[in-house]
Amino acid sequence: MRSSLVRSRRFGSVIEAVGNTPLVRLDRVAREAPSVEVYAKLEFCNPGGSVKDRAALRMMTKAIEEGKLGTGKILIDSTSGNTGVAYSIFGAALGVPVRLVMPSNVTKARKDIARAFGTEIIFSDPMEGSDGAIRYVREIVAKDPDVYFYPDQYSNPNNPLAHYHGTGVEILDALGDRITHFVAGIGTSGTIVGTSRRLKEHTRPIRCVAVEPTEAMHGLEGLKHLPSSLVPAIHDGSAYDETRRVTTEDGWDMADRLAREESLLVGHSSGANVFAAVEIAKELHQTVGGGCVVAIVCDRGDRYFAPMKWEKRYLW
């Protein structure tokens, strides 16, 4: 590699390594749309391995600034996994104790990662999914409000603001006037709402597309089917232009293709985002013959190497 291409980044702590994630061009999975550029924003390059590092870190540092945390209080929240890993990493870095409520059927690897950073886990009913975990954490906090700081990622404005001040700025900085479309899934909706708000301030119009799972009950991990869920308070449907539904199977299939064709091992919510991005690229190729679509790659696929999921797919 030429030395001029080597960029060394030196940080004072793990906290400073959050954000500024790479944008990588996807040529092979989008080969049916050769006139359109498709990029993946690799959020798994954050220190906690997911897009949730941004929101967790901003919610924690703002709470410390406001005196709501860092005074011996325990941070408690419900999480499907990635946010919990992020709280755990930054809890260890900032000296904040962390307690997480999660459905008991989350993968062992996820529990182990959180515990490795010193986090305590409380389990909620797996049949009630993430909505049940949210209800449970609210009960715990209501009983002992002085003991806990509850960031509540579903209602905390610092969740979308992390993307408004981070993800959105970085995408515009890298692509400027070229970007025409942005695609992200809806979990808490922090990523799509915050990033879209920033992109909508750009002088050129950028179409922002949210991805939801088709299936109401067994949808993509990390993503919500809003019509059948508690709608997060931070959700703002006017921040983006369109919602596309993607099946779990299409999310998995695109995740497989991304590994084999683009050397990117990603989770299936990322697969779903890229699937929607490639569909948009194909439409643009046929109608206007050009465009530039950015899809969020939320986390890495090895986070889902768990009994059942991958083994069911690859019967080796």
Interface of this chain with ligand PMP, residues 12 to 71, rule: CB under 6 A: 50-52
Number of residues that bind ligand PMP (CB under 6 A): 18
CB of 303 to ligand PMP, least distance (A): 8
* Contact map string, positions 182 to 201, toward ligand PMP, x by CB under 6 A: ---xxxxxxx----------
* Contact map string, positions 265 to 284, toward ligand PMP, x by CB under 6 A: --x-x---------------
Only segment of 28-36, 68-76, 180-188, 249-257 that touches ligand PMP (CB under 6 A): 180-188
Please report, for the chain, how many H helices and E strands are present, in that order.
Answer: 10, 10
Q: Which is nearer to ligand PMP, 156 or 191 (CB)?
A: 191
* Residue 36 and residue 281 in contact, taking contact as beta carbons nearer than 8 Å: yes
* Contact map string, positions 207 to 246, toward ligand PMP, x by CB under 6 A: ---------------xx-----------------------
Q: Is 80 in the site for ligand PMP (CB under 6 A)?
A: yes
Q: Which is nearer to ligand PMP, 80 or 88 (CB)?
A: 80
Neighbours of 265 (CB within 10 A): 18
Phi, psi of 244 (to 5 degrees): -115, 140
Q: Which is nearer to ligand PMP, 29 or 106 (CB)?
A: 106
Q: Which is nearer to ligand PMP, 82 or 291 (CB)?
A: 82
Residues of this chain that interact with ligand PMP (CB under 6 A) are 50-52, 80, 82, 185-191, 222-223, 267, 269, 298-299
